């Protein structure tokens, strides 16, 4: 279920990006937010690629297992931060989607 929710947020990001860049390139707020999210996503992928290159698949699996164990602990600060980040991103994307003027 967790990955399904992230997939829906990803689809929302793509849809928002398509709508944001249908307008002429003037760096409106929707284009800026979309560009920021895409840059952050690219940085995350680059970080994971670097981690994979440094530690290999075994290290990646060990880190994911440790992260999931930390995420499942009651009152986990890590889980709180990730949940907060998720809802901020989802909220901004939904706000941008509904506030964009139709082209």
Instruction: Give the model confidence (pLDDT) of 5-39 as tens digits.
Output: 778 778 878 887 887 788 788 887 778 888 888 89
Whether the pLDDT of residue 46 is over 80: the answer is yes
**pTM value?**
0.65
Whether the pLDDT of residue 78 is over 80: the answer is yes
Predicted local confidence at residue 102, as pLDDT: 59
Predicted local confidence at residue 24, as pLDDT: 82
Predicted local confidence at residue 53, as pLDDT: 94
CA dist., res. 83 & res. 63, Å (int): 19
Whether the pLDDT of residue 103 is over 60: the answer is no
CA dist., res. 64 & res. 24, Å (int): 41
């Amino acid at each position: 279920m967790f990955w399904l929710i992230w997939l829906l947020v990803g689809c929302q990001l793509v849809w928002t990006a398509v709508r944001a860049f249908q307008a002429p390139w003037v760096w409106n707020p929707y284009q800026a937010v979309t560009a920021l999210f895409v840059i952050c996503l690219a940085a995350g992928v680059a970080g994971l690629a670097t981690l994979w290159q440094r530690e290999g698949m075994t290290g990646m699996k060990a880190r994911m297992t440790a992260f999931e164990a930390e995420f499942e602990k009651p009152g986990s600060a890590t889980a709180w931060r990730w949940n907060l980040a998720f809802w901020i991103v989802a909220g901004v994307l939904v706000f941008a989607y509904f506030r964009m003027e139709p082209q």
